[in-house]
């Protein structure tokens, strides 16, 4: 089952290398499940008695090769790569916050555009590139640092509130997903994706109108509150797709380097939630 998350919907993402043995790979030498030893007739060498217990232990007693030994992705790989990308976002954001004049929006807009371009390259490349994933995180963090500095000047403490809110949404979404209360079905994916694309399109149109002196204020009042609430919900939806795809990828035996693709998807979703959480908090706080 393919993910509807735009990060994970790339054809060929989280796929096994050719020749990876697994259930259902019929037609390979040796048996219906790709076992090269299936159907092999074992015979005792002539002139040799039964094997002793020590010999049997030496032959079969060793531990089997795990995912790390076979180059397959594990949950630990995903956690480690995601931590690296998020730390890159935070570090770049701190540099941006401390070095850029907060009243200049040009740096934030430019970094956002570069991050979007790099993100598209990462998404549509057949082979995942850790350097590009970290570059995306750096530019995204640079843009977020400048933007957060501006908003934190207007609404003091909004940065910490948004970080805490993002962590709460992540934890709640993970709990609901792992508890089985939410099933990621094909219908769920299609409906959520349609809402997410429509939401992004409307925001893009409003941003273009705002650049030419028009557009609506989406950072305050009832409109900003509604958009922020819907945006956080869409971000949580993308997280559920991320969790589902990571589980399926590990079960399929995805290559270890594909953990970077998972890290990219999770970072994308968390950044989305953080931005919409700031919008929601700003609308709730009003002019205080």
The first and second tokens of residue 137, run together, are 């995180």
Q: Which pLDDT belongs to residue 102?
A: 60
Q: Which pLDDT belongs to residue 270?
A: 97
Instruction: Give Cα separations from 234 to 154, 192, 208 (angstroms).
Output: 26, 7, 22
DSSP assignment letter at 78: H
Q: Which pLDDT belongs to residue 32?
A: 36
Q: Which pLDDT belongs to residue 259?
A: 97
In this prediction, the residues of the chain whose per-residue pLDDT falls under 50 are 1-12, 15-45, 56
Instruction: Give Cα separations from 48 to 51, 54, 61, 137 (angstroms).
Output: 8, 15, 21, 63
d(CA 141, CA 143): 5
d(CA 169, CA 109): 26
d(CA 145, CA 142): 5
Q: Which pLDDT belongs to residue 245?
A: 94
β partners of residue 277: none
The first and second tokens of residue 196, run together, are 């997410």
d(CA 32, CA 23): 8
161-192: per-residue pLDDT in tens? 999 999 999 999 999 999 988 889 999 999 99
d(CA 63, CA 260): 28
């Amino acid at each position: 089952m393919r993910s509807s998350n735009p990060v994970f919907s790339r054809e060929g993402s989280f796929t096994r290398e050719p020749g990876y043995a697994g259930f259902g790979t019929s037609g390979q030498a040796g048996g219906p499940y790709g076992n090269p030893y299936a159907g092999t007739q074992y015979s005792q060498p002539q002139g040799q008695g039964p094997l002793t217990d020590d010999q049997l232990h030496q032959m079969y007693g060793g531990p089997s090769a795990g995912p790390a030994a076979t180059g397959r992705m594990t949950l630990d790989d995903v956690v480690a790569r995601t931590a690296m990308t998020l730390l890159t976002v935070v570090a770049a954001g701190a540099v941006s916050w401390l070095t850029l004049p907060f009243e200049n929006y040009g740096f934030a807009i430019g970094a956002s555009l570069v991050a979007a371009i790099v993100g598209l390259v990462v998404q549509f490349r057949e082979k995942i590139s850790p350097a590009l994933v970290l570059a995306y995180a750096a530019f995204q963090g640079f843009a977020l640092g400048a933007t957060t500095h501006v908003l934190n000047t207007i609404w003091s403490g909004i940065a910490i509130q948004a970080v805490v809110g993002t962590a709460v949404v992540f934890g709640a979404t993970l709990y609901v997903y792992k508890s089985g209360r939410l099933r990621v079905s094909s219908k769920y994916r299609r409906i959520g994706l349609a809402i997410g694309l429509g939401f992004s399109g409307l925001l893009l149109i409003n941003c273009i109108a705002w650049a030419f002196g028009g557009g609506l204020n989406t950072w305050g009042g009832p409109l900003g509150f509604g958009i922020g609430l819907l945006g956080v919900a869409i971000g949580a939806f993308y997280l559920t797709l991320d969790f589902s795809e990571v589980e399926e990828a590990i079960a399929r035996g995805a290559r270890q380097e594909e953990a970077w693709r998972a890290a990219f998807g999770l970072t994308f979703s968390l950044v989305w939630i953080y931005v919409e959480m700031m919008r929601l908090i700003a609308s709730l706080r009003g002019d205080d």
